[in-house]
Amino acid sequence: MPVLVVANPKGGAGKSTVATQMAGYWASRGHRVMLGDADRQQSARLWLSLRSPALPQIAGWKIGADGVARPPAGTTHVVVDTPAGLHGQRFQQLLRCADSLLVPVQPSVFDIYAVQDFLDRIKEQRKLQKLRIGLIGVRVDERTRAAEQLREFLRGLAYPLLGMLRSTTNYSHMAAQGLSLWDLRAAQAERDLQQWQDILSWADASA
């Protein structure tokens, strides 16, 4: 059962958007998906509550009698949204359960340095050195110098740059209805679907 964790130390970095879209993609392929929300804001959980029962179903945590959150029986794919400032024992526990880690990064100097420190901390953890890590630029306007600088930074890291997602209101509109790109007509989301292709290929390689 592949476990994909979406993490970034900063708030508002696009973690919930990436997590919900990944869950929506795997569900659209007929997998039994659990979307776990470890963030105090519970954005992914809210997205689930807004999702129509007519759409491919995505489950949340199942809380056992011992109070421990686990995937429901029959789950084949797990996506976990994480909080900002993830660190310490909780940081290690979440990532030790993961097969893959997606790190969304926005085109600002503050986000770049925060992610650099985050990835350095992962390198220091011997038990995490085999973790597959992929990077995604988010809310990127390709016409700007900031986007060029972000691309240069990400390509200079030891992990693959999987894609750059544009800044668009499509994601906020989908969030308000519990939708993913794969719940829309292809013509409605053609440009955005193209930006996801390499990300999905990378994620599917661990599934």
Using CA atoms, how far apart are residues 41 and 60, in angstroms rounded to an integer? 15
Taking a C-beta distance cutoff of 8 angstroms, is the pair 6, 138 a contact? Answer: no
Residue 192 lies in a domain: yes
Residue 1 lies in a domain: no
Using CA atoms, how far apart are residues 38 and 60, in angstroms rounded to an integer? 11
Global pTM?
A: 0.91
Residue 67 has pLDDT above 80, yes or no: no
- My answer on whether 36 and 95 are in the same domain is no
- My answer on whether 123 and 137 are in the same domain is yes
Taking a C-beta distance cutoff of 8 angstroms, is the pair 136, 165 a contact? Answer: yes
pLDDT in the model for residue 91 = 75
Residue 65 has pLDDT above 60, yes or no: no
Tokens 């100097």, located at residue: 109
pLDDT in the model for residue 64 = 53
- My answer on whether 24 and 44 are in the same domain is yes
Condensed to tens digits (0 to 9), the pLDDT of residues 37-64 reads 887 778 889 999 999 999 999 998 766 5
- My answer on whether 157 and 176 are in the same domain is no
Residue 45 lies in a domain: yes
Condensed to tens digits (0 to 9), the pLDDT of residues 144-177 reads 888 888 888 888 888 999 999 999 999 999 999 9
pLDDT in the model for residue 126 = 67
Alpha-carbon torsion 139, 151, 44, 199, what sign? positive
What is the per-residue DSSP string for 143-206? Answer: TSHHHHHHHHHHHTSSS-EEEEEE--THHHHHHTTT--GGGS-HHHHHHHHHHHHHHHHHHHTT
- My answer on whether 43 and 78 are in the same domain is yes
What percent of the chain has pLDDT above 90?
52
- My answer on whether 105 and 70 are in the same domain is no
Residue 24 lies in a domain: yes
Residue 115 lies in a domain: yes
Mean pLDDT of the chain: 88
Q: What is the mean pLDDT of residues 121-134?
A: 81
Using CA atoms, how far apart are residues 20 and 36, in angstroms rounded to an integer? 10
Grade residue 103 by pLDDT with cuts at 50, 70 and 90: very high
- My answer on whether 90 and 191 are in the same domain is no
Grade residue 125 by pLDDT with cuts at 50, 70 and 90: confident
Domain of residue 188 covers 10-84+168-199
What is the number of structural domains in the chain? 2
- My answer on whether 93 and 60 are in the same domain is no
